[in-house]
A and B are shown apart, each in its own frame.
Chain A
Amino acid sequence: MSYTLVVAEVRRGVFEERNLDSIGIAALLQKSIVLLMPDGAYEMKGNLVNIAIKATVQEEIFLNPLNFITILEKVMTSRGKPDVIVFTHSSSGAELASYVAGHFDMPLITDVSGFDKETNVFYKSYYSDKIFGEFRQAGSGPCVVTVRSGSFKEHAVEKGPAETVALEDITLAEGRSFIEYVEEEKGEIDITKAEFLLSVGRGIGNKDEIDDYQELAGLLRATLSGSRPVIDKMWLPKAQQVGTSGKTVKPKVYLAMGISGAFQHIAGMKDSDCIIAVNKDPEAPIFQYAHYGVIGDANKLRDKLKDIVKG
């Protein structure tokens, strides 16, 4: 049977929303969709596919690449090789996908955000979304893809009750083992509650600039947040990071200064009511998501704004 295997992501019992993108691309591929997931949130989502395979292991075991190989081998023994194996382009999705591709010598295309049915090409971002590559599988046999969340959601379908298969007796690998989940420390400032976020990126230049942005935020009664490099460089605390590995925010106004608009950042702020972007590069991808844009030097604009507001 020709089928697409969708590997679902379950985190602490919750079927992650981004799985809908994996199911969406599978629907586009027009193959029968088999959903593979750990025990847990299973009951809720079986109806999105034709067949659901429940690996009777906990999610922590399932998200370990060494164990996942064993689970996948079992699936392939019982149902044959899939044509495409789909993962989400998330931390564990990307980890599992690369290991599967290496282990079974399958071609891999990651961070796929489009698929053309006519030509069988997958669209993949390069250079932080400034260019896209159209990729095709070179040979035949199963291939592995990871999909960017938000790209295929609209194709997800309700299929009705799925046939359910349980995978049991999985021998666990010894090379890597789960110890625990660790929760990030809570910061003093909750950026998810702010109505107006002034967000700064690597483009502001260096740490010394932060004080001036802090001052501007004070004057405008905005809350300061930042993109990942700003947090990595410790210009702002981790709790103030916007993005997939930071916080998802939805303020009335999101003013992004010196932020390029990598998708991991966009994913965390795209639902803001009004996005204003300031960037000196007219080609910066963030302008594709902004409602208002300013092409120019963020620090100069900041100083001018400060002068005007101070009166």
Chain B
Amino acid sequence: MNLLVFTKRVPATQEEELRIVDEGRAVDLSKVPFKVNDWDNYAVEEAVRIVEKTSGTVTAISIGDAESDEVLRRAIAMGAKDGFLIEIDQILHDPGARATVIQNFLKKENVPFDAIFTGVQSEDDQFGAMGGILAAKLGLPFVSMVIGIDAFESDHVIARRELEGGLQERVKVMLPCVISIQTGINEPRYVSIMGVRKASKVERKFFKGKEYEDNLNPGIEVVKWVYPARKGGATMLTGEMDGICKDLIGILKEKGVYQ
């Protein structure tokens, strides 16, 4: 079983103040640390677990700048056999354009696979669309938001996908197919710095994105970046920690949930 898993290097913006620069044309990420996309971490883990149980290999693929090699090394440290980096020098905001590059890449390089794993979405652009677009372009069955794989056979997968409010849908999907993985499906293994260092010795293959740009017609364009409209409702409790806590308890009492 040959499994491909897409993994992306994303900015960790949760605790960062983000600045729009260049009159709305860019967001300054120069001081932001980068990490592996949370959803992809689960996808890599799931793919690795499947080949550990059956047999075969996992190949991690990333599309991005040269630094994305870092997430490939991480995937190898988790158990992927090798890593491919499709190097692009521009950010493709259109998930359709990214899928086109990948589709061309898989075809031109004749990459064999039985299933492709992606994360449900990436933390930065939150499109949640790559897996689906790619599957359709490749003419393959697709299942998204997968929260459980109950069986992985030579010709099909039985998967549970998450719907809203705790409801799941169990489906049978024929291979080859594309599967997008939701967080919580497993507990991704811990990766030590030593492990990543060891993984650096495994050869990664680098490809120039330019080679795979035929039919690349971005369907959407960014006009500009803007800050969210401020609703500004919150009253901030400020001062010393002691005072803040007393104010907070005052609010709880006033709301009648604490005496």
Contact = CB atoms under 8 A, between A and B. Distances in A.
Nearest to A134: B223
Interface stretch (A49-57, A162-170, A246-254): A246-254
Contact of A135 (B11, B38, B220, B251): B220
B95 A108 contact: yes
B233 A291 contact: yes
Nearest to B226: A132
A134 B131 CA distance: 23
A275 to B, nearest CB: 8
Given A196-B257, A304-B242, A183 B226 contact: no
Contacts of A234: 187
B221 A138 contact: yes
Interface string B91-121: 0011110010000000000000000000000
Contact of A98 (B27, B131, B232): B131
Contact of A248 (B38, B165, B226): B165
Contacts of A283: 16-18
Interface residues of B, number: 90
Contacts of A101: 96, 129, 132-133, 136, 219
A276 B251 contact: yes
Interface string B227-259: 110111111111001101110110110011110
5 contacts: A64-B171, A99-B132, A247-B165, A282-B17, A292-B248
Interface in B155-172: 158, 160-172
A276 B248 contact: yes
Contacts of A111: 126-128
A131 B251 contact: no
B225 interface: yes
Given A238-B166, A291-B234, 4 more contacts: A94-B132, A102-B133, A181-B170, A234-B187
Nearest to A197: B257
The 10 A-B residue pairs with the shortest CB-CB distance, nearest first, are: A98-B132, A107-B219, A102-B136, A175-B141, A184-B166, A102-B133, A232-B184, A196-B257, A293-B234, A103-B136
For the residues of B in contact with A, the DSSP-based class is: mixed
A150 to B, nearest CB: 13
A176 B237 contact: no
A92 B163 contact: yes
A131 B94 contact: no
B177 A94 contact: no
A304 B124 contact: no
B125 A231 contact: no
A271 interface: no
A176 B242 CA distance: 58
B183 interface: yes
A290 B234 CA distance: 5
Contacts of B80: none
A252 B236 CA distance: 19
A281 B18 CA distance: 11
A65 B132 contact: yes
Interface stretch (B57-65, B142-150, B192-200, B203-211): B142-150
A291 B232 CA distance: 9
A281 B15 contact: yes
Interface stretch (A76-84, A121-129, A153-161): A121-129
Nearest to A88: B164
A173 B127 CA distance: 26
Given A95-B144, A98-B136, A273-B255, A135 B221 contact: yes
B224 interface: yes
A228 B15 CA distance: 17
A25 to B, nearest CB: 16
A290 B255 CA distance: 15
A192 to B, nearest CB: 11
Contacts of A193: none
Interface in A1-54: 11-12
Nearest to A126: B125
Interface in B18-57: 18, 20, 27, 38
A179 B172 contact: yes
Interface in A58-72: 60, 63-66, 69
